[in-house]
Amino acid sequence: MNKIYIPLVGGLGNQLFQISIGYAIQKITSKQVLFDTSEFRRYKDHSLVVDQLFPNLSFVNMKSSIFKVKIK
């Protein structure tokens, strides 16, 4: 598997932490890290912010969890 999907959820602090972990995993493993934003369809407490702060990262909205492995 060449891609790692990391789900994003929470406020700005949690999102920044998840981005930093994904960036570290990408550097260590040399695999592409994609950040899954699909949790924000149901998550109403906070909005997605980091996609605007880091436009060079890969953000995807996965609709099906069959084809991905999540890191929690």
pLDDT at residue 68 is higher than 60: no
Mean pLDDT of 57-63: 86
Separation between Cα atoms, residue 37 and residue 54, nearest integer Å: 14
Q: What is the pTM of this model?
A: 0.78
pLDDT of residue 43: 80
pLDDT of residue 45: 87
Separation between Cα atoms, residue 67 and residue 38, nearest integer Å: 14
pLDDT of residue 28: 95
Token pair for 70:
């999540």
